Amino acid sequence: MEVLVQPRRLGLINGLLILLTWSIVGLTLSTNWISVFPVILSILIPLAILVSWRSSVLAQCLINGNGTVKLYVYDGFKWGVISGVIFWTLSISTDVLAAGSALLGASFIQVLEYILKISVPFTLLFGVVGAIHSIVFYYFNRWLIVNYS
């Protein structure tokens, strides 16, 4: 069973868990399940790839004995915030490029208010969700390493 506790394999397991879990949640909550597939393709697959990559890096630290919960939480929060910034940048840029966006004709103060009241809190929420996922993966990966190495 030594094959299971390789960093790349642990990262792949974590990425697939993210993809499957959130796909099932999305399909379960949706009244029109066909509309969930674009979200899976555009958001969940890149997210699963990011989780797989970061989990591989952190799993190597865990295997070497220097992976801590604090390291996982910091990394999850950091990449959650980065994902949030990318999400908001892409969503605002499509509004700017399309005719009639919500920010069309908005003053600088209104745009700043939008950023501070909506974008920043949701971006921080992405960070918190990333940190929570990281805590779960820390304990799950540690369990796999202890039980299958």
Reading the chain (149 residues) residue by residue, the pLDDT tens digits are 466 689 999 999 999 999 999 999 999 999 988 888 888 888 899 999 999 999 999 999 999 999 999 999 999 999 999 999 988 877 766 555 555 566 667 788 887 888 889 889 999 999 999 999 999 999 999 999 999 87
DSSP assignments along 5-17, one per residue: GSHHHHHHHHHHH
Tokens read off for 8: 């790349």
- Please give the residue range of the domain that contains residue 25: 2-148
pTM of the shown model? 0.86
Q: Are 101 and 95 in contact (CB under 8 A)?
A: yes
Query: Looking at the 3D structure of the chain, how many domains does it have?
Result: 1
Q: Give residue 137's identity as a one-letter amino acid code.
A: F
Which helix H or strand E contains 74, and what residues bound it?
Answer: helix 69-97
